[in-house]
């Protein structure tokens, strides 16, 4: 059977985002910090440079809205974190005047949204469907905020301005004119049976051990694990659990419904699980796990990292420096394998492709991500993955609604080696947004995603073939002859585009790699 059509992809240097929106139809921006979906949206206001009171110097503001949700893009000139930083930096706020006469005061570094400045009138980030990206330090941001929570309706007009470190000379006036489209609803079905699906879940303080009667978090997490049918699971924050217990849970859950024996490796709180041969790599700190996972079938072997570097802080802080140091040591593990330092047995895996998933805690500088994407180093690609329902890319939210709570953010990232692997599909299942039919289809309950403050992230990859069908290290006429000899067959080795049959698409891919085999 032909493989289902993949979603259209926007490919930037070392960045990939998959979208399933309809061409030509006006769609809301994703609030992911990429800004590609702001093309054609001219700034609605500008402000002179150098007039700020703190470190944040706004010079340009753009606005969109859909339904009652306001999207604002603005620059800050200096590369800083919006939600944390030095006191001398000052803070930045948004003051939004709504038709009722109330004012919603959003203070980024105080991390609150107060009605009329009243500390006891805090409006939760959840009620506002608030999102601000990127979570790491930058000089440009985009904010999504649903003002229905403060009495705004479609057709209403608001005014707003910035406050704190900088403000505009005049308020911005905006009318909510466009309706909000129905959200995209994705399927959790596999693209093809021979792809590699990896799921990552920060379980929040040993969630797989927590089976309390008030809310058995273990049961909720196991339902998610079962529903996504992954070949590899990466967990974080399973500090007090054991590999043996996690293995037992997975075998009892049997997510692939094949009765497979699972193998589990654990380093402190990070875990990697797979029903395959696993081989541990040298580790240099307690904030990650790294394995070779060898499926011993047509999928071959991959290198998997489950990471959970130091949390908190801001650009230039001690926590940020520790994250950078920990990331350097993680990359040292990969480089050791590439350089043949792991020993003779690992020679067969030196060139295996790598996938890095987990809770990156990327709330300071962007440096840890850039280190993995470095073309002179690991040369990975970061993929932005949307939630199963809608285009939201946030993976973390605090359940505390009190002032001072961090706003939802993108903490759980996916980076992979593009070339030998091809990203096929990804989704973030948030059961609170799924309808009853979707929940029933996958055996889930509406509050399952509340078992952790992190949402599960799922990524599916195809193992790409170079076209070297005779194994001589070259893509040549010999390989073309082999491919033509298997024309029309369901032959995995020659079926390079994974559409289930050897055909014209496979010839095109083979010719595109003509010469020395790229991998």
Residue that wins the pLDDT comparison between 20 and 96: 96
Cα–Cα distances (Å) from 108 to 112, 113, 142, 147, 161, in that order, read 7, 9, 12, 17, 14
- pLDDT surpasses 70 at 12: no
pLDDT in tens, 111-137: 999 999 998 999 999 999 999 999 999
Q: Where are the CATH 2.60.40 domain residues in the chain? A: 24-175
pLDDT in tens, 183-227: 999 999 999 999 999 999 999 999 999 999 999 999 999 999 999
> What gap in Å lies between CA 133 and CA 393, rounded to an integer?
9
> What gap in Å lies between CA 120 and CA 108, rounded to an integer?
17
pLDDT in tens, 401-427: 999 999 999 999 999 999 999 999 999
Scanning 301-362, the segments in alpha helix (DSSP H) are 318-338
Which helix (H) or strand (E) segment holds residue 508: the answer is helix 504-512
Q: Where are the CATH 1.10.1330 domain residues in the chain? A: 474-516
- pTM (2 d.p.): 0.91
Would you call 165 exposed, middle or buried from its count of C-beta atoms within 10 A (0-12, 13-18, 19+)?
A: buried
Whether 27 contacts 21, CB under 8 Å: yes
Name 376's Cβ contacts closer than 8 Å, sequence gap at least 6.
none
> What gap in Å lies between CA 136 and CA 397, rounded to an integer?
15
Which of the listed CATH numbers 3.90.320, 1.10.1330, 3.10.450, 1.10.1060 matches domain 474-516?
1.10.1330
Average pLDDT over residues 12-31: 63
- pLDDT surpasses 50 at 323: yes
> What gap in Å lies between CA 391 and CA 428, rounded to an integer?
10
pLDDT in tens, 94-114: 999 999 999 999 999 999 999
Average pLDDT over residues 483-497: 86
The pLDDT of residue 495: 84
Q: Is the dihedral of CA 344, 348, 353, 358 positive or negative?
A: negative
Residue that wins the pLDDT comparison between 515 and 292: 292
Closest CA to 188 of 410, 389, 448: 389
Lowest mean pLDDT among 217-221, 267-271, 384-388, 479-483: 479-483
Name 127's Cβ contacts closer than 8 Å, sequence gap at least 6.
149
> What gap in Å lies between CA 254 and CA 4, rounded to an integer?
26
The pLDDT of residue 513: 84
Whether 413 contacts 357, CB under 8 Å: yes
Q: Where are the CATH 3.60.10.10 domain residues in the chain? A: 196-463
**Topology classification of domain 24-175:** Immunoglobulin-like (2.60.40)
Count of residues making up the chain: 519
Q: Which CATH architecture has domain 196-463?
A: 4-Layer Sandwich (3.60)
Q: pLDDT above 70 covers what percent of the chain?
A: 95
Closest CA to 303 of 340, 338, 275, 327: 338
pLDDT in tens, 388-403: 999 999 999 999 999 9
pLDDT in tens, 223-240: 999 999 999 999 999 999
What is the overall mean pLDDT for the chain?
Answer: 93
For residues 59-75, one letter each, b for 16 or more C-beta atoms within 10 angstroms of the residue's C-beta and e for the rest, the string is bbbbbbbbbbbbbbbbb
The pLDDT of residue 16: 62
The pLDDT of residue 496: 80
> What gap in Å lies between CA 408 and CA 314, rounded to an integer?
16
Average pLDDT over residues 315-319: 98
Confidence of residue 90 (pLDDT cuts 50, 70, 90): very high
Closest CA to 474 of 518, 504, 505, 509: 518
The pLDDT of residue 20: 38
- pLDDT surpasses 50 at 10: no
- pLDDT surpasses 60 at 5: no
């Amino acid at each position: 059977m032909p493989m289902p059509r993949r979603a259209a992809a926007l490919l930037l240097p070392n960045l990939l985002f998959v979208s399933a929106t309809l061409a030509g139809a006006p769609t809301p921006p994703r609030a992911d910090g990429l800004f590609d979906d702001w093309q054609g949206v001219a700034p609605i206001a500008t402000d002179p440079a150098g007039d700020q009171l703190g470190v944040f110097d706004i010079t340009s503001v753009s606005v969109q809205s859909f339904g009652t949700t306001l999207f604002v893009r603005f620059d800050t000139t200096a590369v800083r974190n919006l939600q944390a930083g030095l006191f001398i930096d000052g803070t930045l706020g948004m003051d939004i005047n709504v038709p009722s006469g109330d004012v919603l005061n959003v203070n980024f570094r105080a991390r609150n949204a107060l009605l009329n400045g009243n500390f006891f009138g805090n409006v939760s980030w959840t009620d506002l469907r608030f999102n601000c990206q990127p979570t790491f330090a930058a000089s440009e941001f985009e904010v999504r905020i649903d003002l229905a929570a403060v009495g705004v309706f479609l057709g209403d007009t608001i005014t707003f301005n910035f406050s704190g470190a900088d403000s505009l000379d005049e308020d911005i006036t905006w009318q909510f004119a466009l309706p909000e489209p129905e959200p995209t609803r994705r399927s959790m079905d596999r693209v093809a049976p021979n792809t590699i699906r990896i799921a990552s879940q920060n379980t929040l303080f040993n969630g797989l051990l927590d089976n309390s009667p008030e809310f058995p978090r273990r049961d909720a997490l196991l339902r998610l694990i079962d529903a996504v049918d992954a070949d590899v699971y990466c967990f974080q924050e399973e500090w007090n659990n054991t590999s043996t217990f996690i293995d037992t849970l997975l075998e009892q859950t049997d997510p692939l419904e094949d009765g497979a024996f699972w193998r589990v490796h654990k380093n402190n709180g990070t875990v990697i699980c797979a029903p395959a041969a696993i081989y541990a790599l040298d580790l240099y700190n307690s904030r990650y796990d790294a394995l070779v996972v060898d499926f011993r079938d047509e999928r071959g072997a991959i290198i998997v990292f489950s990471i959970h570097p130091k949390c908190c802080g801001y650009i230039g802080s001690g926590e940020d420096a520790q994250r950078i140091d920990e990331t350097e040591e993680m990359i040292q593990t990969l480089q050791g394998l590439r350089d043949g330092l792991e020993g003779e047995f690992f020679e067969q895996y030196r060139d295996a492709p790598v996938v890095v998933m987990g809770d990156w805690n990327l709330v300071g500088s962007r440096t840890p991500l850039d280190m993995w994407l470095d073309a002179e180093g690991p040369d990975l690609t970061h993929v932005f993955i949307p939630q199963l329902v809608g285009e939201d890319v946030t993976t973390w939210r605090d359940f505390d609604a009190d002032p001072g709570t961090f706003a939802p953010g993108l903490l759980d990232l996916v980076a992979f080696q593009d070339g030998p692997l091809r990203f096929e599909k990804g989704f973030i299942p948030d059961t609170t947004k799924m309808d009853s039919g979707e929940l029933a289809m996958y055996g889930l309950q509406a509050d399952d995603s509340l078992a952790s403050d992190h949402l599960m992230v799922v990524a599916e990859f195809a193992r790409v073939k170079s076209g070297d069908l005779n194994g001589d290290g070259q893509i040549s006429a010999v390989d073309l002859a082999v491919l033509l000899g298997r024309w029309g067959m369901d032959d995995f080795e020659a079926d390079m585009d994974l559409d289930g049959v050897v055909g014209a698409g496979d010839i095109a891919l083979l010719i595109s790699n003509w010469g020395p085999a790229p991998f």
